[in-house]
Amino acid sequence: MSAEPPAEPTDGSSPGTGGLATLGRQFLELVTRERAFLLVLLAGFVVSALTYQTPWIAMWVGFALAGYSAVANDSIQTIGTFIASNRDQKWWVLWLFIGGIFVATVGYSFYAYDGDVTYERLAAKGFAEAPTEFSFLQVAAPLFLLILTRLKMPVSTTFLLLSSFSTSASGIGGVLLKSVSGWLVAFVTSILVWLAFAKVFKRWFKGTPHPAWRGAQWITSGLLWSVWIMQDAANIAVYLPRQLSLWQLVAFAGVIFVGLGLLFRLGGEKVQEVVDEKSGVVDLRSAAMINLVYAAILWVFKVQSNVPMSTTWVFIGLLGGRELAMAIRGTSELTLKKAARMMGKDLLVVSIGLAISMLLAFAVNDAFRAEVARLLGL
């Protein structure tokens, strides 16, 4: 009795190609779905390639790319809860509020620090000298951040952007030490706060919030956003002269202001889902408490030294400690195991971002590469 012949594929493909056909369809669906993003990405790489050899143009191209990519990625740490808990508000009202605070904060730094819009973050060792020439990858570095943001990865823009320009490996080492310290302080602080008050918060935060909580959440969001700018403006200003003229300030603030408008119009970038998945962040009262604790931590590190730091690491530590504490106290939507897994996933993602940043810095930064080789005795 002879064996039955294999069934013919119904889609017209030859036997054994079904898997490839499926992969092909999935790839085409991805390209179609992300067509606009891919076109923007392609345009960014082309413009970077055409301008990197002309420094005065390259610095503004790099800044513009860094401005949107950094805000899109890092904004979840500060205005992520603001977006999540105010989806019932008009987007342009949120934009004008947050954009106005940005302009006021960098404007004050410009006035108080003789044209420096970074609150002297770039006066630290390894960052004090503005770049006078650029490589293609230095200008295009923010595009890699956009890709990671699109993949919902909350990576550190501090490491990804600043490490490409640092003239000192020890300067990056100082940033790393301060950032890891920030993660630890935020993790321990949030565990202590939410272990102590999780049940109180759950009892208080029932039903519809009193209208006063809307004002409290806006105030704490504005405070946190302003302190965050004091830390992270360095990440986007690293392309520019360390002291800006008045017209350069207008260009600097204007580009970021428009980028914020786009971000609010979109309702947050893909990485916004990192905030949306956390317990209770859409509640105005919970959002206000997160903002207040986070702002206090950033302010302490801001006055402690002018060394730049990764606020992403602080943010991940804060949310991770909060979720674990709430799970321990039984007030979370997650079990302790799931909360620990979520914290581990976020920590893994920022660690991958750190590794990518160091590889990029080694590839594009001659001074950084030479000092690393010297330190390793190569």
Structural tokens at position 259: 């980028």
Structural tokens at position 133: 């020439």
The larger pLDDT score, comparing residue 92 to residue 11, is at 92
Are 105 and 124 in contact, with CB atoms under 8 Å apart? Answer: no
Residue the block writes with tokens 């590889």: 359
**How does pLDDT run across 325-347, given as a tens digit for each residue?**
888 888 777 788 888 888 888 88
Other beta carbons within 10 Å of 34: 13
- Inter-CA distances, 355 with 75, 156, 177, 362, Å: 21, 10, 15, 11
Q: Provide the 8-state DSSP code for 307.
A: -
Instruction: Identify the top-confidence range among 61-70, 113-122, 316-325, 363-372.
Output: 113-122
Mean pLDDT of the chain: 81
Are 256 and 102 in contact, with CB atoms under 8 Å apart? Answer: yes
Q: Enumerate the domain spans of the chain.
A: 36-202+210-365
Mean pLDDT on 256-265: 88
Mean pLDDT on 218-235: 91
Instruction: Give φ, ψ of 248 to 5 degrees.
Output: -65, -35
**How does pLDDT run across 292-319, given as a tens digit for each residue?**
899 999 999 988 888 888 888 898 899 8
What is the structure's pLDDT at 244?
A: 96
Distance CA 300, CA 64 (A): 30
Residue the block writes with tokens 């992969």: 23
- Inter-CA distances, 119 with 116, 124, 230, 237, Å: 7, 11, 6, 11
Q: Please say if the pLDDT value at position 76 is more than 70.
A: no
**How does pLDDT run across 147-197, given as a tens digit for each residue?**
877 776 667 778 878 888 877 767 788 888 898 999 999 999 999 998 888
Residue the block writes with tokens 């209770």: 280
86: helix, coil or strand? coil
- In this structure, the chain runs to a length of 378
What is the structure's pLDDT at 12?
A: 47
Structural tokens at position 298: 């950033």
Distance CA 25, CA 22 (A): 5
